[in-house]
Amino acid sequence: MQSLSRAKIMGHIYLIQMQRWKRFMLFPYLDRPNTHIHVVSSVQDIPLPATDDTQILVFGLPSPEIETFADKHHIPIWQVEDGFIRSCGLGAHLTFPLSLNLDPVGIYFDTTRPSHLENILEHHVFTPDEIALAQQVHQALLENNINKYNIGNDSFSLPKQAAGKTVILIVGQVEDDKSIRYGTEHIFTNQKLLETVRQNNPDAFIIYKIHPDVLFQERMGKIQDDAVQLADLIVENTNINAIFPDIDELHTMTSTSGFEALLHGKKVVCYGRPWYSNWGLTSDYIPIPRHTRKLTLHELIAGALILYPTYVDTSGQHTDILTVIDIIKKQKETSVSKTKKQRLWDKRIVQISQLLHFVKSSKNPWLKLIQLIRLLYRK
């Protein structure tokens, strides 16, 4: 066992073929002393020989070209994904993330190989202070009804037909999502998952929840018309936290909603290999041999929500998860009474304030502003 903490990136960081929106949301997370951000079109634009502090940063998984180049020239690759308590709104709607997972080992959704999160959960010696903080975080999430995106209708009522039955929630996913490609072996579609759960639980009352990106962004993952014969209830724009009190179990391929269900004390059945599986807290169809440790729920929370992510507030300053929970709580309270146009203006105000903080925090604000403009508008 050893002590592991949040990974910190610094040095010369190369962003390869990265969209402007993603560059923008990365700035507060990379705004550290001795950090220099470079936007390049391909790995061929990285100066060679590489210095010891040269790093490559990508969202999700690196391409084979990037991996080959990095291996050849001994350049570390950092992979980035949204944190598990992210925002009050979807990333697809360009809502700024209050947390990101920056990983120098792998990335949490690719369980075919290790990640920094997995190393924390497998090897870290959790201290009493970390467990106490995890308990505090757990309580705050439940009391304030907070999850990853905090979207959807908060009203839900279970039909009378469910009385006396085991109630199972199946969460749909985006089927071309990399967490399915790298986290499942037998079931790759929402339709197949629904069929399997119904076959294994013929007498259960099954609720199927459509993924927001499938519902609103037309992403891959629609179920067939005969799904009404497999699911007793199909829900669309409903906040998953509103459903948790009425269910007994959650069944999923790899969705992070399984982790959220654990926070609510529900039985979780995993048909794939999500990062939170195989630690003794879930029922698992596929083993992960590297997961040899049995964790408590608060050790899982400490690893996934305290030690692994990086958090920033709405001004772009680094902060902690309890502050982020408080920010999301206030955003939820104010967004209820606001129109869609007002919420859009709120996002723009947050973006402008983050830009101002990024510039003002520099010893040479004008130079920082010029660098920022070059980074944002370079193709």
DSSP notation for 290-306: T------HHHHHIIIII
**pLDDT score, position 25:** 86
Question: Structure tokens of 68?
Answer: 């080959």
User: What pLDDT sits at residue 20?
Assistant: 83
Do 152 and 294 fall within a single domain?
A: yes
Q: How many CB atoms lie within 10 A of CB 125?
A: 9
pLDDT at 90: 72
The backbone torsions φ and ψ at residue 164, rounded to the nearest 5 degrees and listed phi first, read 80, 0
Q: Show which of 267, 299, 331 is a domain's final residue.
A: 299
Q: What is the C-alpha to C-alpha distance for residues 166 and 316, in angstroms, rounded to an integer?
A: 45
Q: Which two tokens stand for residue 295?
A: 């964790």
What pLDDT was estimated at residue 145?
95
The count of residues in the chain is 379
162 and 91 in a common domain = no
Predicted local confidence at residue 356, as pLDDT: 56
Residue 367 DSSP symbol: H
Query: In whole angstroms, what is the distance from residue 301 CA to residue 38 CA?
Result: 34
pLDDT of residue 342: 53
Last residue of a domain, one of 273, 299, 325: 299
pTM given for the model: 0.88
pLDDT at 332: 87
Angstrom distance (rounded) from CA 290 to CA 111: 10
Query: Are 187 and 332 in the same domain?
Result: no
List per-residue pLDDT tens for the chain, 379 residues long: 565 667 788 899 999 988 888 888 888 898 778 889 999 999 999 999 999 999 999 999 999 999 999 999 999 999 999 999 999 877 666 788 999 999 999 999 999 999 999 999 999 999 999 999 999 999 999 999 999 988 888 889 999 999 999 999 999 988 888 999 999 999 999 999 999 999 999 999 999 998 777 666 667 667 776 666 899 999 988 999 999 999 999 999 999 999 999 999 999 999 999 999 999 999 999 999 999 999 999 999 999 999 999 999 988 889 999 999 999 999 988 865 455 555 555 555 555 555 555 555 555 555 555 555 555 555 5
Residue 4 domain-assigned?
no
Q: Which of 328, 284, 315 is nearest to 141 (CA)?
A: 328
Distance CA 332, CA 152 (A): 11
CATH number of the domain to which 219 belongs: 3.40.50
Residue ending a domain, among 257, 277, 299, is 299
Which single residue is written with the structure tokens 């705004």? 31
Q: Collapsing DSSP states into helix, strand and coil, what is residue 27?
A: helix
Domain membership of residue 304 (yes or no) is no
Cβ-contact 270, 283 below 8 angstroms: yes
Paired tokens of 228: 């009404």
Q: Is the dihedral of CA 334, 238, 266, 179 positive or negative?
A: negative
Q: Which range marks the domain in which residue 168 is found?
A: 128-137+145-299
150 phi and psi, to 5 degrees? Answer: 55, 50
Are 78 and 64 part of one and the same domain? yes
**115 and 132 fall within a common domain:** no
* Residue 193: per-residue pLDDT: 95
Q: What share of the chain is helix, strand, coil (3-state, %, to 5)?
A: 40, 15, 45
66 and 35 in a common domain: yes
Residue 6 included in any domain: no
Residue 280 CA to residue 295 CA, distance in Å, equals 6
The count of domains in the chain is 2
Per the domain annotation, does 98 fall within a domain?
Answer: yes
